[in-house]
Amino acid sequence: MSTTKTIKSALISVFSKDGLEPIVRKLHEHNVSIYSTGGTEEFIKNLGIPVIPVEDVTSFPEILGGRVKTLHPKIFGGILNRQNNETDVQQMKEFDIPQIDVVIVDLYPFEKTVASGASESEIIEKIDIGGISLIRAAAKNFNDTVIVASVNEYSLFLEMISQGNATTTLEQRRLLATKAFHTSSHYDAAIFNYFNTDESVLKVSIDECQILRYGENPHQKGFFFGDFDAIFTKLHGKELSYNNLLDVDAAVNLILEFKNQSPTFAILKHNNACGIATRRSMKEAYLDALSGDPTSAFGGVLIANGKIDEATANEINSLFCEVVIAPSYDEKALNILQEKKNRIILIIKDVPLPQRQLRTCLNGILVQDKNNITDNKEALKSVTITTPTNLEIEDLIFASKICKNTKSNTIVLAKNGQLIAAGTGQTSRVDALKQAIEKANSFGFDLKGAVMASDAFFPFPDCVEIAKNAGITAVIQPGGSIKDELSINYCNENKVAMVFTGTRHFKH
C-alpha cells in the first residue's frame, strides 16, 4: 500500500482562528470535505466555504456548555481506523463512520489563563478534553491520519498540502505526529504543575529552544531551552553563546543582591565577579569595578543595577567586553555602546526568576531551592570582643553578597564598597585566601582596614591569622564549626572583629 495519502476529509476545531483561513481555502480548493464545531464552524461558513457540523455526523448536539462536542465513536472511529485492516474497514461501513484524513485542532490556552491571574474556575475550564483526545488519536494513527495540533504548525502544513496537491507522505505525517505529542505532553505537564504540591515529583517541559553556535567548547553541541525574551530585551550585537549565557545568569543573580541600592557595577568572568563596586555615580562604580582586576575584565560581562549614562558608556567603550546589561540606557549611551558591532547590549526586565535550580547529575537531575538568603545587619552576631565599625559592617555585608555568588571554596576581600580580590574555586580555604591576597597585592591595593568574607566556617585559626597579618580588620563567616573558639580566640587576642551569620553560602 502506498504511504502517500490524499486528503479527502478534514475535521477542524480550533480555539484560535489566526492563520486558519489560508488552510481552509486550500483544502476547499482540493474539494476536501470539512467537518467542524461551534465557533470554528461559524468561521468557515463566513468564508463562504461549505462545512458539515459534527453533530450531523454524531446525531448528537454539543452538550454541557461545549464541554462535549467531538467525543463520539463516529468521530474517533473516523480518525483511528486502520485503512489496511479488513475488520476496521468493515466496521467503518457497518456503522456508517466517515473517514477523517486530517485533524486540525489547537488547545484551550491553559498556561496563558494561569499567567493572567484568572480564578481557579476559569483555569479549570481551560483544561481541554476533546482537543487533547483528538490530538492523541490522530497522532497515534499517523500511518493514515494527519494531525495539525498547534497554530505553530499551520505554515508547515499549508506548505505540505500546497506542494503535494493535498497529499502527504508518511514522513510528513510522522513529523506532524511528533510535534503533536510534544504539544500534548507540554500541555499535560503545565496542568500537572499547576496542581502539584509534591516536591518529590519533577516534570519540566519548555517550548522555547535556541540552537547555540556550540556548547562550552566548539566540539560540543549547545542549546538554550527557555524564554530569553521574557527576561531581556536585546538591543544590539551578535548571538549569545553558551558561555555568554552562563555568565549572564551569574551576573543577573549577583546584581540582584544590590537591587534598588546605590549605583553598583559588576564585571564577571567565568561566572565569578572580577570587579564590583558601589559608588555615588554609575561612572565611579564602573571605574572602581574595573580597577579591581582590569586584566580579567577583558572579554567579560558587565552589569549595572541602574541606568547607564553617557559618561559611563564612554568609559566602557574603551574596554573589549562581550555583554553589557542594565535596566536602562540613555540615548547617547546607547549610541556609544553600539559602536562595537558584536557587543551584546541587553535591557534586563524586572521579572521574577525561577525559585528552583536544576542540573544534571550522573543519570539523573539534582534539584534545589534557590539560595534566597542575603546576609544583612540584623543577621550578624558579633562573637569577638572587638566589634566592627559601621563602615566595616557595610563592607562585610557587601563582601558577603559577592561571596554568596562566587564559586566555592571562596574568600572575598573588600574595602570601601569595592571588591579588592577574591580567591575562587579552590580546594582549600587557605589557598583561596592566599590567592586573594596575592591578587590584591598585584594590583596595588592596600589591605589595611579591608574585610574578609568566607562562604563557610573556619575549622582552624589559620585563615584569620593570615588575614590579620595582611592587614584585614574584620571577618564575616557563617560559623558552626566545633572549633569556632580557636578562630574567635585568635581574633580576640589580635583585636580583629568577627561576626557570624549562621548561613553557609556554598556555590559548587
Query: Averaged over 104-117, what is the pLDDT?
Result: 91
What is the model's pLDDT at position 86? Answer: 87
Q: Say if CB 42 and CB 52 are below 8 A apart.
A: no
The per-residue pLDDT for range 177-207, each reduced to its tens digit, is 999 999 999 999 999 999 998 888 888 888 8
Cell numbers at 195, concatenated: 496542581
Residue 394: pLDDT band (50, 70, 90) is: very high
Tell me, what amino acid is at 85?
A: N
Closest CA to 224 of 232, 214, 234, 233: 214
The per-residue pLDDT for range 416-458, each reduced to its tens digit, is 999 999 999 999 999 999 999 999 999 999 999 999 999 999 9
Q: Is 466 exposed, middle or buried (0-12, 13-18, 19+ CB in 10 A)?
A: middle
Angle between helices 130-140 and 73-80 (to 10 degrees): 30
β-strand 102-105 against 9-13: which pairing, if any?
parallel
Residues with active-site annotation = 140, 270
Q: Say if CB 333 and CB 309 are below 8 A apart.
A: yes
pTM: 0.87
Residue 70: pLDDT band (50, 70, 90) is: confident
Query: Averaged over 477-492, what is the pLDDT?
Result: 96
Least confident residue range of 22-31, 83-92, 149-158, 297-306:
83-92
Say how far apart CA 388 and CA 6 lie, in whole Å. Answer: 82
Please state the length of the chain.
508
Residue 25: pLDDT band (50, 70, 90) is: very high
Say how far apart CA 386 and CA 382 lie, in whole Å. Answer: 8
pLDDT at 95 over 90: no
pLDDT at 1 over 60: no
The per-residue pLDDT for range 41-54, each reduced to its tens digit, is 999 999 999 999 98
Cell numbers at 45, concatenated: 461558513
Angle between helices 462-470 and 484-493 (to 10 degrees): 30
**What average pLDDT does the structure give for the chain?**
93
Look up cell 555568565; give the residue: 247
What is the model's pLDDT at position 129? Answer: 87
In this structure, what DSSP letter does residue 333 have? H
Query: Over the range 314-334, which residues count as b (16 or more CB within 10 Å of their CB) and which as e?
Result: eebbebebbbbbbbebeeebb
What is the model's pLDDT at position 295? Answer: 95
β-strand 272-278 against 264-269: which pairing, if any?
antiparallel
Look up cell 496563558; give the residue: 112
Residue 149: pLDDT band (50, 70, 90) is: very high
